[in-house]
Structure 1
Amino acid sequence: MATDSLAILFGSIARVKLLRFFLFNPSKEFTFDEISRRARLVRRTARTEMNALERADIIKKKQIYQQLEGRTSRTRVHAYTINKEFGELQALQTFLFETAPINGKTLLTHLRKAGPIDFVCISGVFLREFEHRLDVMVAMKKLSQTKIENAIRSLEAELGIEIRYAAFTSEELKYRVGLYDKLTRDVFDYKHQIIVDKLGIRDELHGLRG
């Protein structure tokens, strides 16, 4: 289903983005500024749509304590999170996942803007594992963290979701896999899919498990 069709169905593209943002991050709390920035929505639009979602009982507002820049003590702020008591939560989550281009092909289109890619593994939200620690692991010979971050943030804005990722040089990833450290175990010991492998990581993992 095209995004503009969803916009008609749900009222606006901004609302679709926010729905995905909350539904695919069901255990997290976000301040208004974080939501507006990550969804790349102007504040007035974000406020209007979030008020509508709150009235519909899909999201709820709560108070949390957060460490703000320039302050030594934690400050009480308003935050928003999905309302897990919403009756149609699972159905809405499934529908929006099925209609979003959350797949390896879309991810690679964005990542390749950062340069030649040697390795990509997807997990987490890409495989409907919303509580997973990591969604993307990527490696490049000449890694630019800034370019990778820009690519990920661009995809986040397109999909309206937060993407948790880790980026390494190709040599660093091979070293980590050889050690089978905690980060690699957190990905490869659970549901995942390797979609680019120019480093022989798949064979390395097979050897470690064999």
Structure 2
Amino acid sequence: MEYLSKLFGSPARVKVIRLFTFNPEEVFDRDVVVQKARVTPETASKELSALARASIVNRKTFFKEVFRPGSKIPKKRKTIGWVLNQKYPHLVALTHFMRTTLSVSDAEIGKRFRRAGAIKLLVLSGFLVGEREGVIDILIVGDRLIESDIKNAVTSLEAEYGQDIRYMIVPTEEYHYRRRVRDKIVREIMDFPHKEIINRLLKM
């Protein structure tokens, strides 16, 4: 992302632009931008102001469901958010540019999951390999994996790709069973375009 950071001013701006261009109908308040783009509140405010001045996003007031301490019933609160400006004159070109410059290397993806434990199989599918209709984007096979580290790795990739990533963790024996019985979900991953980042199953 280094060359994009130089072009757009910072890595944070690239991630925030991707968040809006890849989710064109969504309204995000600052807290959600902080969470999804993995930037600080100060950086989020700065980038949202810059994108609003450039007419890439528009401010929009909406009602957000929030939970008060000790309550299980959400309350609706009026919130200031931002949404992609559908009338931005260069929107098509900007969105295309953001999609075609997505470049997280296979080695980098594998590195981000390294702390999760002994992963036997790590497969990318769905939108991560250009298939918009996939049900799962990342399949992770292994035993005694650290789910919190997997979630952190996925969250970091979501910030890069600007959209939610659907993932599934499957124990090794269960994966082999699913393959034998032609499980629908596993079949839709492995029988269609996918990319194996880690495959240690053949070495067992």
Alignment partner of 1:14 out of 12, 15, 18: 12
Q: Which stretch of structure 1 is more off in the superposition, 141-150 or 75-84?
A: 75-84
**CA distance, structure 2, for counterparts of residue 26 and residue 63 of structure 1:** 16
Equivalenced residue count is 196
**CA distance, structure 2, for counterparts of residue 74 and residue 84 of structure 1:** 30
- Extract unaligned runs of 5+ from structure 2: none
Given the two structures, how large is their TM-score scaled by the length of structure 2? 0.75
1:139-165, CA deviations, whole angstroms, 9 ceiling, x for partnerless residues?
1122221121122233444x2634412
Once superposed, what is the RMSD of the aligned Cα atoms?
3.1
Q: 2:52 maps to what in 1?
A: 54
Q: 1:75 maps to what in 2?
A: 76
Please give the secondary structure, in 2, of the residue aligned with 1:167: strand
Name the CA shift for 1:174/1:27 in 2 (closer, same or farther; >3 Å).
farther
**CA distance, structure 2, for counterparts of residue 89 and residue 132 of structure 1:** 26
Matched, 1:161 2:162: yes
**CA distance, structure 1, for counterparts of residue 176 and residue 59 of structure 2:** 43
Name the CA shift for 1:189/1:13 in 2 (closer, same or farther; >3 Å).
same
1:76-112, CA deviations, whole angstroms, 9 ceiling, x for partnerless residues?
4344343344343332233233433234332112112
Matched, 1:180 2:183: yes
Q: CA deviation at 1:189?
A: 6.8
8 Å contact kept, 1:102–1:126: no
Name the CA shift for 1:81/1:123 in 2 (closer, same or farther; >3 Å).
farther
**CA distance, structure 1, for counterparts of residue 175 and residue 61 of structure 2:** 39
Name the CA shift for 1:184/1:58 in 2 (closer, same or farther; >3 Å).
farther
8 Å contact kept, 2:34–2:41: yes
Alignment partner of 1:149 out of 133, 148, 151: 151
Q: CA deviation at 1:18?
A: 0.9
Q: 2:124 maps to what in 1?
A: 122
8 Å contact kept, 2:36–2:155: yes
8 Å contact kept, 1:65–1:74: no
Q: Which stretch of structure 1 is more off in the superposition, 16-25 or 122-131?
A: 122-131
8 Å contact kept, 1:135–1:163: no
Please give the secondary structure, in 2, of the residue aligned with 1:86: coil
8 Å contact kept, 1:57–1:83: yes
Alignment partner of 2:21 out of 20, 23, 48: 23
- Extract unaligned runs of 5+ from structure 1: 201-210
8 Å contact kept, 2:56–2:85: yes
8 Å contact kept, 2:102–2:161: no
